[in-house]
């Protein structure tokens, strides 16, 4: 399967915040970086298909430090 082509899962290319149930890709791509606006907050999202892992990078709402994690949260570990 090439990047951008859907698998047999009906919503394959619609998965933008988590991997597809059918193929484990996000937006039909094995490696992907894009910006996500949610909860009035900006996230830089990186998906590594080889590790099947999504990392969300952003600035903490409390201390302002840049952090990266596997959960969609607005606070770093020290402030949560």
CA–CA distance, 57 with 43 (Å, rounded to integer): 6
The first and second tokens of residue 63, run together, are 């201390």
Q: Among 14, 10, 8, 42, which Cα is nearest to 27's? A: 14
pTM: 0.55
pLDDT single digits (tens) 1-17: 788 899 999 999 987 77
Give residue 63's pLDDT. 94
Question: To the nearest 5 percent, what fractions of the chain are helix, strand and coil?
Answer: 5, 35, 60
pLDDT band at 30 (very low <50, low <70, confident <90, very high): confident
The stretch 43-72 carries a mean pLDDT of 86
**Which residue would you say has higher pLDDT here, 44 or 13?**
13
CA–CA distance, 45 with 70 (Å, rounded to integer): 10
């Amino acid at each position: 399967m090439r990047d951008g082509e859907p698998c047999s899962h009906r919503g394959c290319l619609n998965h933008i915040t988590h991997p597809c149930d059918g193929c484990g890709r996000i937006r039909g791509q094995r490696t992907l970086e894009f910006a996500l606006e949610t909860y009035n907050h900006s996230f830089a999202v990186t998906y590594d298909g080889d590790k099947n892992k999504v990392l969300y990078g952003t600035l903490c709402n409390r201390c302002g430090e840049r952090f990266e994690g596997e959960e969609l949260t607005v606070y770093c570990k020290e402030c949560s």
